[in-house]
Amino acid sequence: MFRSLKILAILLALGLALPVAAQDKPAKRFGFGTPATTEQIAGWNIDVRGPDGAGLPPGKGSVAAGEELFMAQCAACHGEFAEGAGRYPELIGGRGTLKSDDPRKTIDSYWPHGPSLYDYIYRAMPFGAPQSLTHDEVYSIVAWLLNQGDLWPADKDLDAASLKALKLPNRDGFITGGDPRPDVKPDTCMTNCRTAPPKITSDLAARLGVTPTQQKAAD
């Protein structure tokens, strides 16, 4: 009897311990999904960094080819001169208006970096069919847009190196290199900084009766 009780206790203890042990096992796999292939990852990995153009793909495009593509795929919304159609955004124009009462934010008035143009158009345009353009087509459209803003000659091809080297007019209109406000001084106390008890310098609050003084509280 004694012995079987002991066995029962051991069994009970095991029963309590088992679910805990089960939690330590790796999560059950359900067999869903497959590891992403290099090709699939490359399809997502399309970001191009504005300031230095990191991620710009090989390829090149011409202003002439860009004009044809823009008229066919972009002008319906952005206008034949990239001036915007209806309520769709204008892409070129309004340089020098940022400080005015009617600031117009476009590629040549506002955007700081040429490579961002590549990133945005390749990723997001044309509006109804994003990522349908080839790299060469995007370079061509970027070349045409820059040419519309007098920022790129009509007879020169645009590629990664030349887009990186290009300086847009508002390049220095953004604050970079950190917060321009003065830093907290290194010796500024941030915790337990009180050296003496606080002193009441005016009794106005007490006279108005909104903050009872020590004496009043004692009365």
| Residue from 65, 121, 163, 168 binding ligand HEC (CB under 6 A) | 121
Report the nearest approach of ligand HEC to the CB of residue 146 (Å).
Answer: 11
* Distance of alpha carbon 111 from alpha carbon 51, whole angstroms: 11
Interface residues for ligand HEC in 57-76 (CB under 6 A)? 73-74, 76
Stretch that binds ligand HEC, among 44-52, 84-92, 167-175, 210-218 (CB under 6 A): 84-92
Residue 94 tokens, joined: 């309004």
Is residue 206 a contact point for ligand HEC (CB under 6 A)?
A: no
Residues whose CB is less than 8 angstroms from the CB of residue 146 and which lie 6 or more positions away in sequence, other chains included: 107, 114, 117, 152, 158, 166
CB nearer ligand HEC, residue 51 or residue 212: 51
Name the one residue in this structure whose structure tokens are 């008035």: 109
Residue 65 tokens, joined: 């080819």
CB count, 10 Å around CB of 145?
26
Contact by Cβ (8 Å): 117, 145: yes
Spell out, one character per residue from 6 to 45, where the chain touches ligand HEC: x when CB under 6 A holds, - when not: ----------------------------------------
Stretch that binds ligand HEC, among 12-20, 126-134, 164-172, 183-191 (CB under 6 A): 126-134
Is residue 98 a contact point for ligand HEC (CB under 6 A)?
A: no
Q: How far is CA 9 from CA 18, 20, 22, in A?
A: 14, 17, 20
Nearest residue to the partner ligand HEC, using Cβ: 74
Burial of 30 (0-12, 13-18, 19+ CB in 10 A): exposed
Report the interface residues with ligand HEC, using CB under 6 A: 73-74, 76-78, 88-89, 91, 106, 120-121, 125-128, 141
